[in-house]
Structure 1
Amino acid sequence: MASDDNFPPIKGTYNGINYYIQNGKQRQRKAGGGFTRESIKNNPKMQGVRDSNQELALCSRFNKNFKEALFPFINDLGDGTLHSRLMKLFMQIKTLDEAPVGKRTVVNGLCCDMGRKLLREFKFTKGPGTRDILGPIADLDTKTGVLKAVAFDPKRLKFPKGSTHFYLQYGVLEYNLKGNAFRFILNTDALVVAKEDEAKELVLEIPEKPKKGSAVFGVVKVQFYQKLPDRFYKSFAKGAVGIGVV
């Protein structure tokens, strides 16, 4: 394709000028602009990009460690979108940290009420969430790991078709601020709850106390089942699994 003055188009770099074709016209610009690995690393004007990359890397590492810690609860979800949805959540929580851009972290974002609220309201699955499972009032003792729900009511949950019971599991997610490490303390004894059970106060415990100085979150999981004469059968219906964070 020729240029407007019938000269053949020029493509490439010559004497510090980039020559290229855009929308059918010959254009040129000074070479050396744009995003390169070298410019991002050293150019003072790219400091904002470096800060964003640093925060993105920290958020990605937090997401990875978070999922690994919660593996006992999320390993069977089969949800390919969970990683990206959690990443979006943690990036949002990170912005609540009042540190300068480039040094903001998810952990500091979770230290404020809004950060914890966003995590509690996150929908891990299409099943019940924290409020559905525990009711409107749930209190977590971060020193002992004991979780109390004064208005626990099975009738609040929407049972998938054919389901008669659900198993309720409880664990405490502990994040060591200094060591940047997670630990999940799981109560391996699941509580079996029938659809017709009455409302009551629910008290959930873990086998050991969380360590001092850690960020502590209670995590509950429900899995619906159908009880037949021989045993319980797991439901694979939509909404048959629910996870909530306190």
Structure 2
Amino acid sequence: MQRVRENGSEFKGCMQSVQFFKKGLQPFLGTFKDGTLHQRLISLFTQIKSLDTLAVRGSRTVFGGLQTAAGQGLLNPYLLTSGSRLEGVLRQAVVFDWASGLSLPDFEGQRVSFPAGATHLSLQIGYSSLDFTQQTSSFRSSETIYLSPADAGTIFIPAPAPTDTEGMQVGVVLARFVQEVNGQFYPLKSEGSVVMEVVGCRL
């Protein structure tokens, strides 16, 4: 029974951490729906929690696991959507740096497989600070850029302003295929039209 209680306590902690993590990324996560994300995060955070070597069984936490290199390695990179990674969609390299932002060296729009109805691919990066101890978070995002099949050259998205909350720093990228109509951009609803993934995490 002791082991059951220990497992139950840690599982409850994982569930709370998943909810907190999703809340911290809500400005991006709230723009699309993925019915598989919650369960996938529970599985991920359970693995991360098990890497907490400082706490005794029954008291291990997700944040404890994230303080290890192995735990951070499970979160970064992590695909939050269910389809392809950004590099697979772009078919070219993506470079991330905390200080400068996101860049696509030698981008060629013609290499991207634009789905039917899409005129552009929107790209945006966000920084979330997650204080797992105090359960506080903050989020900052960059401007959105729109890339068409005709675009080429080095593409650069400057890093957003630093967040004002202590704790784990998580960098994410959000890419969506959109359709331009009279100067307005409308996200496509088709499967695989959105990509969100973690591109960096640090304490």
TM-score by length of 1: 0.68
Quick one: distance in 1 between partners of 2:68 and 2:112?
A: 29
User: Residue 85 of structure 2 contacts residue 197 of structure 2 at CA under 8 Å; is this kept in 1?
Assistant: yes
CA contact (8 A) 2:122 2:177 kept: yes
The answer to whether structure 1 residue 126 and structure 2 residue 79 are counterparts is: no
Kindly report which structure 2 residues correspond to 1:45-194, keeping only aligned pairs within 5 A, or say none: 46-99=1-54, 100-132=56-88, 135-141=93-99, 146-149=100-103, 151=105, 153=107, 155=109, 157-187=112-142, 189-194=143-148
Q: CA deviation at 1:131?
A: 4.2
| Counterpart contact for 1:128–1:243, Cα < 8 Å | no
Separation of aligned partners in 2, 1:86 and 1:77? 16
The 1:211–1:76 alpha-carbon spacing in structure 2 relative to 1, beyond 3 Å, is: closer
Equivalent residue of 1:96, what SS? coil
Q: 1:214 aligns with which of 146, 167, 173?
A: 167
Following superposition, the deviation at residue 130 of structure 1 comes to: 5.0
How far the C-alpha of 1:51 sits from its partner, in A, is 1.5
Task: Decide whether aligned partners of structure 1 residues 123 and 136 sit closer, same or farther in structure 2, where only a CA change above 3 A counts.
Answer: same
Going from structure 1 to structure 2, the CA distance change for 1:114 and 1:104 (only over 3 Å counts) comes to same
| Long gaps (5+) in structure 2 | none
Which runs of no fewer than 5 residues in structure 1 stay unpaired?
A: 1-45
- Is the radius of gyration larger for structure 1 or structure 2? 1
CA distance in structure 1 between the aligned counterparts of 2:28 and 2:166, rounded to whole angstroms: 24
Task: Tell me which residue corresponds to 2:150.
Answer: 196
Aligned residues: 195
Q: 1:239 to 1:215 in 2, by over 3 A?
A: same
Percentage of pairs with the same residue = 30
Structure 2 length normalisation: TM-score?
A: 0.81
- Cα deviation, 1:187-229, whole Å, max 9, x if unaligned, reads 3x3111222322415242223x234742111111011112355
Q: For the residues of structure 2 that align with 1:154 and 1:171, how far apart are their CA atoms?
A: 24
